[in-house]
Amino acid sequence: MAKVIGGRVLELVIVFFGVTFVIYAMVFALPGDPIRALAGERPIAESTIATLRAAYHLDDPLLVQYFRYLGGLFTGDFGTDFSGRPVGAQILRAWPVTLVLALSAWAIEIVVGLGLGLVAALKRNTWIDRTILVTTILATAIPVFVVGVSAQLLFGVRWGILPVAGDKAGWPVAFILPAAVIALYGLAVVSRLMRSSVIDNLGMDYVRTARAKGLSRRRVVGVHVLRNSAIPAVTFLATDLGYLLGGAVVVEGIFNLPGIGNLLFGAIRSHEGPTVVGISTALILVFLVTSVLVDLLHAALDPRIRHD
């Protein structure tokens, strides 16, 4: 286990430096002269340029600038937005909403996805199976914002069943619709993984043994097959986090949930470049750390992964 942890953490370190360097190089080093951009159309004195360049350390070599930026990240400094508020503090405040949204979406994906996959496997090659396949694929073919605004119009405005926007109604009422919209996109993969896994498991020896011992079909499927089949789907769900975070950007924007995604949505809309980069970087780092944690948890739970 120690070897697994060591390897995974080493990988995280390499990926961390790589990802932050790519972001830095793409965003801060490539496009034009930031001081000129700051000045806009107005003429600017050479001495002012020199002072500003020194103040922002723009004359240092790229690598030195990068490490200064990295030092900022480690101390929670993700830059400031246009009104001078630190991005890090705003992220901290918005974090719980996004976490709740992602976990709710995850829960829906697990319950509905595993359920659909199980039903499709048990009713394999019937019209039920095909309907599940077609609807879940259809759902992935429509962009998340189209589904989002349509769901908002139907459930919120026309029928008035669920809140149109905002988080005033609290969990779960305010989160049902946005979480369901995000979850819709994982359903196709989760249900299909579950389907093929259940089909594989139904043909296993232990199922025959259990049946031979006189256990009811309901018990064999409900207890033995279900538990063993869920592993691949749950593994996928762990890697799906990156998608959930991306989906949160659009969905929190549409449903006006005050989470990190909404911060990012607003920053993109109002062209606040530095804020966009700060928030995205924070989200990407969260994604990196979480995926390592999930991997380790997974290795701890399933001995087969440890010994690969």
Q: What residues make contact with another protein under the rule CB under 8 A?
A: 11, 14-16, 18-19, 22-23, 26-27, 30-31, 124, 137-138, 140-146, 149-150, 153, 157, 196, 199, 241-243, 245-247, 249-250, 253, 264-265, 268-269, 273, 276-277, 280-281, 283-284, 287-288
Residues 6+ apart with CB under 8 A from 147: 139, 181, 184
**The one-letter amino acid at 59:** D
Give DSSP secondary structure letters for 183-207.
HHHHHHHHHHHHHHHHHHHHTSHHH
Nearer to another protein, 70 or 215 (CB): 70
Return the bridge partners of 86, or none: 80
The residue among 143 and 172 lying less far from another protein, judged by its C-beta, is 143
How far is residue 69's CA from residue 57's CA, in Å, rounded to a whole number? 11
- Amino acid, single-letter form, for residue 304: R
Task: Closer to another protein by CB, 17 or 223: give it.
Answer: 17
The distance of closest approach from Cβ of residue 244 to another protein in the complex, given in angstroms and rounded to an integer, is 9
Q: Which is nearer to another protein, 84 or 203 (CB)?
A: 203
Q: How far is the CB of 7 from another protein (least distance, A)?
A: 12
Tokens representing residue 34 in the block? 């930031």
Determine the Cα–Cα distance for residues 49 and 40; give it in Å rounded to an integer. Answer: 13
Q: Is the dihedral of CA 118, 122, 123, 129 positive or negative?
A: positive
Query: Residue 258 or residue 273: which is nearer to another protein going by CB?
Result: 273
| Pick 128 or 199: Cβ nearer another protein | 199
Rounded to a whole number of angstroms, the minimum distance from the CB of residue 76 to another protein is 19
What lies within 8 Å, CB to CB, of 256 at 6+ separation is: 165, 166, 262
In the three-class reduction of DSSP (H, G, I as helix; E, B as strand; rest coil), residue 43 is classed as coil
- Shortest gap between Cβ of 11 and another protein (angstroms)? 7
39 by Cβ neighbours in 10 Å (0-12 / 13-18 / 19+) ranks as: middle
Q: Are 277 and 27 in contact (CB under 8 A)?
A: yes
Which is nearer to another protein, 143 or 222 (by Cβ)? 143
Least Cβ distance, residue 149 to another protein (angstroms):
6
CA atoms within 13 A on the CB side of 127: 0
**CB 214 to another protein: min, Å:** 28
Q: Long-range contacts made by residues 30-38, C-beta under 8 angstroms, separation at least 24?
A: 34/58
CB of 172 to another protein, least distance (A): 25
Q: Is the CB of 208 or the CB of 219 nearer to another protein?
A: 208
Q: Least distance in Å: CB of 162 to another protein?
A: 16
